[in-house]
Structure 1
């Protein structure tokens, strides 16, 4: 790191340059590691997924392998045990790795495997959040958001310290990975991050109260050897936002009986009719399935 061209200040401390170089090196280390690991995968027949840059797929006459990389945490799965063992041995010779066996816990997601399929949940993550935000003793509620609830930007008084609200909503956004039932409610409270108010905080706490009574909820992926059909559902809350009158769309995509994709999203423009909003929701859902 150097000072700007044409500006040399004699009092500029030398240790600041050293610190800046160290920080720059730390930021570049994950990128260098990913480049090295991905180059190794690509050279051994893996293909990077177009939908996720951290997922790599290997197809051959022996079977299929799917690898997911997050920094130095790796998930490797496939449909043939000998193929899995061969590639695990190959990775171990090239990198310093440890095989932890069957998947049980990954980035806050618990995985419980059975003969019927795989159950994914974030039970421990939710329990830790309830303790962190002191909501573990509250009475659970049945729904994450009140029926026909309409929350405005100006409802309630401004919070003196919005940091707790932002931390709570940020934690909830990570929970939508395995909890599609709270996706719409989290979408609503995420719209007030810039200026949260007391009413908005009550909505966030309601979501946590709902989570307290549904700790074991999650996604169940059923095992199936047959090729399944992709089925998608969409819906729209027409002009549901009291501030912008924009609609919120929601969709769920199933591969057979397994839910594989879902989202709640506010439309970028105002729909003049419920029919227009529905068509827009369908177009967005079809685009997700392509």
Structure 2
């Protein structure tokens, strides 16, 4: 067991990888025959349905391409826009204004639950949208007392999402598994708290596998 829900088996016949989330299972392996035999064993022990090749998993859409796989959450993003009643809004080219300064000296939202719900949805969207990491994380610092201005910032992020609805992660096969990373920091950049902002992205075999942007 590699993670609480990720199981890996290596035998002389090959390798099997199983990802489990409640009653959803994703299975892959080093050969089609090995995977088929493993699924047959599971079906002998448990009542389960084989849905065939992977297309959707936990709100993530997996699209095979000529050189790999494209992962996105376009359908999920549309549901967020519908929830926010912003499906017909004009898209924005960036998620935040470059010179926007967030402060708490504005009118508080009477009911912050809608703001927090949209924020939570955007946070899940960052699973395949590293371009949203900074803006979503930046807005998160105002979760305890969101204002009308902060709500406008969330709506701007959503307008950016509308214009980039199909953006996601693209994974390609590579004969080498070189691991490398980039990082940067903005020291004491917050005008209110003087806290620094850190960001990094990690690549394996040329594919982005990990990223972060936070204070």
What TM-score do the two structures reach when normalised by structure 2? 0.97
Q: Do the aligned partners of 2:138 and 2:214 also contact (CA within 8 Å) in 1?
A: no
Q: Which residue of 2 aligns with 1:40?
A: none
Q: Contact (CA 8 Å) 1:64, 1:78: kept in 2 or not?
A: yes
Instruction: Tell me what 1:280 maps to.
Output: none
Equivalent position of 1:78 in the other structure:
29
Matched, 1:110 2:61: yes
- Matches for 1:248-259 after TM superposition, within 5 Å: 248-259=197-208
Higher strand share: 2
What SS does the corresponding residue of 2:160 show, helix, strand or coil? helix
Structure 1 residue runs of 4 or more that deviate by more than 6 Å after TM superposition: none
CA distance in 1, matches of 2:105, 2:20: 43
Q: Can you give the 5+ residue segments of structure 2 that lack an aligned partner in the other structure? A: none
| Cα 1:147/1:94, change in 2 over 3 Å | same
Unaligned ranges ≥5, structure 1: 1-47, 267-290
The residue that corresponds to 2:84 in the other structure is 133
Aligned mates of 2:97, 2:186 — CA distance in 1: 14
Q: Aligned residue for 1:28?
A: none
Where 1:144 maps in the other structure, the secondary structure is coil
| Pair 155,203 (structure 1): closer, same or farther in 2 beyond 3 Å | farther
Q: Which residue of 2 aligns with 1:205?
A: 155
Q: CA deviation at 1:155?
A: 3.7
- Conserved in 2, the CA contact under 8 Å of 1:150 and 1:240? no
Q: Within 1, Cα distance between the matches of 2:119 and 2:153? A: 10
Task: State the Cα RMSD in Å.
Answer: 1.1
Distance 1:256-1:155 versus aligned 2 partners, 3 A rule: farther
Aligned residue for 1:192, secondary structure, equals coil
Q: Which has the higher contact order (CA 8 A, sep 6+)?
A: 2
How many residues align structurally?
215
Give the secondary structure class of the aligned counterpart of 1:146: coil
Structure with the bigger percentage of helix: 1
Match of 2:128 in 1: 178
Give the match for residue 218 of structure 1: 168
Q: Which has the larger radius of gyration?
A: 1
Judging changes above 3 Å, is the alpha-carbon distance between structure 1 residues 149 and 236 closer, same or farther for their aligned structure 2 residues?
A: farther
Question: What TM-score do you get using the length of structure 1 for normalisation?
Answer: 0.72
Which has the higher mean CA deviation after the structures are superposed, 164-173 or 237-246? 237-246
